[in-house]
Structure 1
Amino acid sequence: MGSKSKGGDFERNICKFLSFWIQGSEKPYLLWRQPASGGMATISEENIGLTGDIRSISPLSEFLTDRYNIECKNGYDEASLDKHLKYNKTDPLRDFWIQTTNDATKSNKYPMLVYRKKGLSTPWIGISTVNYNDLYDYLKSLRFIHLHWGMDDLIDTYLFEMKEFFSTITPDIIKGEINVKS
């Protein structure tokens, strides 16, 4: 199976997971893969809202995609927390976060990275410091990894186990605690 196919399968599975999180059932699907995997936003400024890998296909899920640029990454043998700690020139996790935050800034949304390392069954959710602070009262009892990017202007990342994050953070919490950027 090629990397594009694996990425597409991963994105579809995340859409199904999030649809279930929102409504308690996988179908009907509420979210689906973005056309051209978010590349539509680079074609024209009028497509700026089409960033990320996940888009809403139902009014029931718009609250999530109106607030978040959701970027999905699956696999990547070379991605490692060790690289982050050693300041390697190539750090895929950092590159993923740069892409996620840049697209979020362009579309005036918050960044959300969904990442699964090759060989692991459970994805991680990466959110920004701003989101962590907004959701602190709900997240303070969860285990997480805090990635600080040194002297860069890159905002810190907080990584959570995906199922634990979404069993703690409900759709109503997102609707009530996270404002749509204006």
Structure 2
Amino acid sequence: MKQNLKTSLTHRGISKLSWWLFGAAMIAAAWWGQPLVDSVHFENHFFGVFWYSMIALGLMFWSLPSEQFTDGKLLERRTMLLGLLPLWRKSEPVSGFERVELTQEPNVFGKDSVWLSLITTEDGETKRRFVFAYFPASHRGIAKAQQMAGDLSQISGLPFAQAATEV
């Protein structure tokens, strides 16, 4: 029987294809907006300033992805500069939570969302929640969420409460 010997778990924003595609789209949008700046018409310069301010805002959010990490004793959420250099950290002890849980939330547009969280309840209601990861509620997304929930449960020593099964 093969044992999973993971001792830590990290969920990174930069490991998703969408993060890389958004960065490429921002570069393409910056290149596409060049005629606004190079124009001889004053009103085009105004639109160019607006265009590049929106691109700068998008790149600011893109360049600061977050990641979640646990070693079984500590949960940590970090904001990273380009996924490499930590700029901000928030830590909580795993002992402050009761269980690992997958919850499925319906979306108005597109697939539902599956959230992997560590939960503390009081009188049947959620008191504290630490969201570790998010997945789309597709067959593949739910499978990834269940795999990560099992790994998180094993590393943290907390029971895995429920699994999202709807698609």
By the TM > 0.5 criterion, same fold?
no
If each structure's strand is expressed as a fraction of its own residues, which one has the higher value?
Answer: 2
**When you count helix as a share of all residues, which structure comes out higher?**
1
For the aligned pair, the TM-score class normalised by the smaller chain equals under 0.3
TM normalised by structure 1 equals: 0.24
Q: Which has the larger radius of gyration?
A: 2
